[in-house]
A and B are shown apart, each in its own frame.
Chain A
């Protein structure tokens, strides 16, 4: 036998099984694409940070010390601690306020007051730890020069800093001026700016002590616990109270992964579901194809094919479309990943992020290995079979569970085609099971995706506090006031906050009291006002934290604002605060603990009574009543904003417009909520769901197509007895409709469980726990509709082959026996 005949047998087989070829290649394409996407996202979610961290020998811990309580020699001595593998410092450091003169469009020049900045004195950017990358200009070489940290995660500095600009240290007598000579990037954010060491003393107000900074790398620093142990070692080696703050690289890393990390668990889940489904469908397609082809195997053997040639013919028949699908999926997966990864890549100056080469190699190899195993087993069996055996094995099984099923279903009084169709799965239990699993996973993916989408919407709503229609009014910032401009609100807030007028000193503004009165009067005048509350935002510092904590204080209870509670309760008295999860994680506190913080020299203690879902100031915030601040003696806290809930039925947009008109341009009026910030993740979700539902539908299509081919003779008999095309379609659809319905019923709890499992994981990777409100999104109506998803997938998948079966003429098939 010439080798060419195997090829011809393969080509003949492929041409005759067009459906199977299309299904195999599509399934492989979709699952390869999903796997590539999943792996690329997992690998790259921390990719930029890890690359930069490795390149810069980033600091595992950035520690600040009180130089009054310890000496440089003692600090240098901490290098000898066993766990410390590398250290840099001590560097003198100071925390101070800087102002940058900037141009405000339409209003001329203004001074932008930056939040409290950490300035470190370092002679050079290099070193064994935190080898800072200089991006522009040069490192400070003398007095009056500063290099600023352009790390994109550093919220303290405005974007678009320019070389040659001047900054003024306003908190220091004499207000020394510094020129920006360099823009640098420290991956672990060890400082906001750097000067030559001698400059630090000039920037230190005579009263405040000089701080010292040490940067450490430790032998084990993989977890928060390991870091805590390392920091404790350092603290023990020094006099008590010497260590004032220790920042772990983990929080920076988490903050940087925040954009993409929450996507990772769900993409992995989808990848795994897709993979299992593909395996199921590939096995179903391939064993079905080989079994359906047994008759042909018999014929091939009877004309002299060897078992090896038969196996080769079948393996090739499956592998050719499988390889084609895999390659297509690789392309699609790379394109999709490219779109997603581009955003994170732009954030960092670490070069483009692509799908790693090993992913592009490993995914197709793994997929094809699965296909290979799935095809080899039945192909080997076909190869071993005698020609006569093969010819008879190719027939659809006629005995078995079908009998009892017919008898039972027959009693239900359903139309005959439906009864016959519903009984069919019992005759092929193995195939029915595989179809069931494929549809189940598809329907579970749909259920999960619907729930995840709803949860994400609620996350956006929760973060915007826009469950009800709300409007915010921010007050103009008077000169020299202690308002948020002066205390340094984050420049990029995540909540629609005060407009530009909140940050800049502008001429001819009303006094704080006048502005408050004007706002209250205007709000009260509006007929659409339901509730409103004054809000004061202040930044406070806490021992052990190098970053400031934002305090949002409301006048009164304001429980209608709509914060989602994770645990505990909303503050209901003075001295009570609610905090986001990230605050608890960062401070190691739990609900019920007390926190002590400092504002303008005064110390205040409050009790944490609840955990709220919020991400203002990256979750380093506290929410309380203004009474808490007033009782602590903080009289300077002034409302800088009013939050208004409009009456039900009133349009928040119209309300905001009317209020803005009343108050004039100095006041910023914003409508909260509205546009969700999730189009990317939602479209990704929709895309993956569609892909998985498509795989499931293709699996059904293939099963039904196989079955119609096997039962072509029975179908012809039905038609000869007068079954109309419509009845034929009903019967064929019923072959899988029952299976689909059962799969759908099982899939709903599976999908909901998956959502309840993954949403908290996604939250955790974004640094927050998830309130019950966000998790419980499935209503009874949703469940009922979703339970039909399986049946819908099955019916849609079966319609095409059912149509083919209905259209086929019975004459030919009746001859074959």
Chain B
């Protein structure tokens, strides 16, 4: 199976003298894999995710995602890489409050230069698959937390990214809603979507991903998998995968 993410000896220091936020990380993730990154607060989970997404650059080491040396790309190139290959969802959704639901979802496609009509069709398809099509012309402020997160997921998927990154996607949701979002991610992965999920919640990690990596003080303390596990093997009776992927 193809390697999707390859981190080699990756270190990130925010301050030159301080202890690194992550240090000497070695990590390989295969395409189609779903992994959970776990660890106590401040252990470097978000930092790691930002490095994979090219939102930040490592102090040293190499970050290769989908065959690109992300750490070496220019700002413009990394932006293009991001909108083509990566979808990100956040704990606090990060929807743009002065755009409607459908405009939020279309935005990455429009930034990538997709025609308005096609972007709208693609957004409609995703909103329907995620069962929020009725809210397409609403503004995010009117939506519940679960609905917002589904909009954020739709937005993350609009450009058919090879990799979906999620930083505590259920952290701001009650447990029932969090459960729904978890199942959604599971369905996505079953239909072939590679996924890196950052979470505090060992239960979530166990139920919806096939492999968990635990960070402590910026170092990989434990890695459960061998790069082959798929969430589908673990959850019996899951729904068929979402039909929104390539």
Residues of A within 8 A of B (CB): 398-399, 402-403, 406-407, 410, 413, 415-417, 420, 423, 427, 713-714, 716-727, 806-807, 809-811, 814-815, 817
Query: 8 tightest CB-CB pairs across the interface, nearest first?
Result: A722-B83, A416-B110, A811-B56, A724-B79, A402-B98, A398-B97, A817-B92, A811-B55
Q: Is B32 an interface residue (CB 8 A)?
A: no
A810 contact from B55, B83, B97, B155, Cβ within 8 A: B55
Once bound together, how far apart are the Cα atoms of A410 and B117, in whole Å?
12
Once bound together, how far apart are the Cα atoms of A807 and B79, in whole Å?
12
In the complex, chain B residues whose CB is within 8 Å of the CB of A420:
99
B111 touching A417, Cβ below 8 Å: yes
Q: Other than the known A416-B107, A725-B79, what 6 A-B pairs have Cβ atoms closer than 8 Å?
A: A415-B110, A427-B98, A713-B94, A721-B82, A721-B88, A721-B108
In the complex, chain B residues whose CB is within 8 Å of the CB of A413:
116
In the complex, chain B residues whose CB is within 8 Å of the CB of A415:
110
In the complex, chain A residues whose CB is within 8 Å of the CB of B83:
721-723
Q: How far is the CB of A298 from chain B (nearest CB, A)?
A: 20
Q: A714-B96, A811-B50 are in contact. Are A720 and B80 (CB under 8 A)?
A: no
In the complex, chain A residues whose CB is within 8 Å of the CB of B79:
719, 722-725, 727
Query: Can you sample 8 A-B contacts with CB below 8 Å?
Result: A398-B98, A718-B111, A721-B155, A722-B82, A806-B75, A811-B50, A811-B55, A814-B50
- Return the chain B residue nearest A405 by Cβ: B98
In the complex, chain B residues whose CB is within 8 Å of the CB of A721:
82-83, 88, 107-108, 111, 155
Q: A403-B98, A814-B94, A817-B92 are in contact. Are A722 and B55 (CB under 8 A)?
A: no
In the complex, chain A residues whose CB is within 8 Å of the CB of B103:
406, 410
Q: Is B238 an interface residue (CB 8 A)?
A: no
Q: Is B28 an interface residue (CB 8 A)?
A: no
Q: How far is the CB of B165 from chain A (nearest CB, A)?
A: 10
A423 contact from B90, B97, B98, Cβ within 8 A: B98
Once bound together, how far apart are the Cα atoms of A722 and B82, in whole Å?
5
- Between B53, B96, B98, the greatest number of chain A beta carbons within 10 A of the residue's beta carbon is seen for B98
- Between A407, A717, A722, the greatest number of chain B beta carbons within 10 A of the residue's beta carbon is seen for A722
Q: Is B141 an interface residue (CB 8 A)?
A: yes
Once bound together, how far apart are the Cα atoms of A656 and B103, in whole Å?
73
A406 touching B99, Cβ below 8 Å: yes
Q: A423-B98, A814-B90 are in contact. Are A722 and B56 (CB under 8 A)?
A: no
In the complex, chain A residues whose CB is within 8 Å of the CB of B55:
719-720, 809-811, 814
In the complex, chain B residues whose CB is within 8 Å of the CB of A807:
75
B75 touching A724, Cβ below 8 Å: yes
In the complex, chain A residues whose CB is within 8 Å of the CB of B111:
416-417, 718, 721-724, 727
Q: A406-B103, A413-B116, A814-B94 are in contact. Are A724 and B46 (CB under 8 A)?
A: no
- Return the chain A residue nearest B98 by Cβ: A402
In the complex, chain B residues whose CB is within 8 Å of the CB of A403:
98, 100, 139
Could you tell me which residues of chain B, from 191 to 228, have a CB within 8 Å of some CB in chain A?
A: none
Could you tell me which residues of chain B, from 103 to 139, have a CB within 8 Å of some CB in chain A?
A: 103, 107-108, 110-112, 116, 139
Q: A410-B103, A416-B107, A727-B111 are in contact. Are A720 and B98 (CB under 8 A)?
A: no
A722 touching B96, Cβ below 8 Å: no
Once bound together, how far apart are the Cα atoms of A723 and B100, in whole Å?
18
Q: Is B76 an interface residue (CB 8 A)?
A: yes
B96 touching A717, Cβ below 8 Å: yes
Q: Is B84 an interface residue (CB 8 A)?
A: yes
Once bound together, how far apart are the Cα atoms of A416 and B119, in whole Å?
12
Q: How far is the CB of A396 from chain B (nearest CB, A)?
A: 10
Q: How far is the CB of A734 from chain B (nearest CB, A)?
A: 14
Once bound together, how far apart are the Cα atoms of A461 and B157, in whole Å?
69
In the complex, chain A residues whose CB is within 8 Å of the CB of B155:
721
Once bound together, how far apart are the Cα atoms of A463 and B116, in whole Å?
62
B116 touching A722, Cβ below 8 Å: no
Q: How far is the CB of A345 from chain B (nearest CB, A)?
A: 58
Once bound together, how far apart are the Cα atoms of A722 and B57, in whole Å?
16
In the complex, chain A residues whose CB is within 8 Å of the CB of B92:
817
Q: How far is the CB of A74 from chain B (nearest CB, A)?
A: 89
Could you tell me which residues of chain B, from 73 to 91, have a CB within 8 Å of some CB in chain A?
A: 75-76, 79-80, 82-84, 88, 90
Could you tell me which residues of chain B, from 137 to 195, have a CB within 8 Å of some CB in chain A?
A: 139, 141, 155, 159
- Return the chain A residue nearest B88 by Cβ: A720
Once bound together, how far apart are the Cα atoms of A724 and B75, in whole Å?
7
- Return the chain A residue nearest B109 by Cβ: A416
A722 touching B98, Cβ below 8 Å: no
A720 contact from B57, B75, B82, B116, Cβ within 8 A: B82
- Return the chain A residue nearest B57 by Cβ: A809
Once bound together, how far apart are the Cα atoms of A817 and B171, in whole Å?
13
Once bound together, how far apart are the Cα atoms of A814 and B88, in whole Å?
11
In the complex, chain B residues whose CB is within 8 Å of the CB of A417:
111
B39-54 vs A, CB cutoff 8 Å, 1 = contact: the mask equals 0000000100010010
Q: How far is the CB of B98 from chain A (nearest CB, A)?
A: 4
Q: How far is the CB of A105 from chain B (nearest CB, A)?
A: 73
Q: How far is the CB of B77 from chain A (nearest CB, A)?
A: 9
Q: How far is the CB of A713 from chain B (nearest CB, A)?
A: 8
Q: How far is the CB of B61 from chain A (nearest CB, A)?
A: 16
Once bound together, how far apart are the Cα atoms of A374 and B76, in whole Å?
41
- Return the chain B residue nearest A400 by Cβ: B98
Once bound together, how far apart are the Cα atoms of A308 and B159, in whole Å?
53
Once bound together, how far apart are the Cα atoms of A402 and B96, in whole Å?
12
- Between A403, A417, A724, the greatest number of chain B beta carbons within 10 A of the residue's beta carbon is seen for A724
In the complex, chain A residues whose CB is within 8 Å of the CB of B108:
721-722
Once bound together, how far apart are the Cα atoms of A727 and B111, in whole Å?
8
- Return the chain B residue nearest A419 by Cβ: B110
Q: How far is the CB of B150 from chain A (nearest CB, A)?
A: 16
A724 contact from B50, B80, B99, Cβ within 8 A: B80
In the complex, chain A residues whose CB is within 8 Å of the CB of B99:
406, 420
Once bound together, how far apart are the Cα atoms of A713 and B98, in whole Å?
13
Q: A726-B76, A811-B50 are in contact. Are A717 and B56 (CB under 8 A)?
A: no
- Return the chain A residue nearest B112 by Cβ: A722
- Return the chain A residue nearest B47 by Cβ: A811
In the complex, chain B residues whose CB is within 8 Å of the CB of A398:
97-98, 141
A720 touching B76, Cβ below 8 Å: no
Once bound together, how far apart are the Cα atoms of A815 and B103, in whole Å?
23
Q: How far is the CB of A183 from chain B (nearest CB, A)?
A: 76
Once bound together, how far apart are the Cα atoms of A727 and B95, in whole Å?
19
Q: A410-B103, A427-B98, A817-B92 are in contact. Are A725 and B75 (CB under 8 A)?
A: yes
Once bound together, how far apart are the Cα atoms of A723 and B155, in whole Å?
14
Once bound together, how far apart are the Cα atoms of A406 and B100, in whole Å?
9
In the complex, chain A residues whose CB is within 8 Å of the CB of B95:
717
Could you tell me which residues of chain B, from 1 to 56, have a CB within 8 Å of some CB in chain A?
A: 46, 50, 53, 55-56
Once bound together, how far apart are the Cα atoms of A402 and B103, in whole Å?
13
- Return the chain A residue nearest B115 by Cβ: A413
Once bound together, how far apart are the Cα atoms of A465 and B110, in whole Å?
62
- Return the chain B residue nearest A723 by Cβ: B111
Q: How far is the CB of A729 from chain B (nearest CB, A)?
A: 11
A722 touching B80, Cβ below 8 Å: yes
In the complex, chain B residues whose CB is within 8 Å of the CB of A726:
76
Q: How far is the CB of A177 from chain B (nearest CB, A)?
A: 91
In the complex, chain B residues whose CB is within 8 Å of the CB of A713:
94
Once bound together, how far apart are the Cα atoms of A636 and B209, in whole Å?
117
Q: How far is the CB of A301 from chain B (nearest CB, A)?
A: 25
- Return the chain A residue nearest B106 by Cβ: A416
In the complex, chain B residues whose CB is within 8 Å of the CB of A423:
98
In the complex, chain A residues whose CB is within 8 Å of the CB of B80:
722, 724
Once bound together, how far apart are the Cα atoms of A36 and B97, in whole Å?
47
A725 contact from B76, B90, B100, Cβ within 8 A: B76
Q: A722-B83, A722-B84 are in contact. Are A717 and B98 (CB under 8 A)?
A: no
- Return the chain A residue nearest B77 by Cβ: A724
Once bound together, how far apart are the Cα atoms of A407 and B139, in whole Å?
12
- Return the chain A residue nearest B140 by Cβ: A398
In the complex, chain A residues whose CB is within 8 Å of the CB of B112:
722
Q: How far is the CB of A548 from chain B (nearest CB, A)?
A: 76
Q: How far is the CB of B163 from chain A (nearest CB, A)?
A: 13
In the complex, chain A residues whose CB is within 8 Å of the CB of B98:
398, 402-403, 406, 423, 427
In the complex, chain A residues whose CB is within 8 Å of the CB of B57:
809
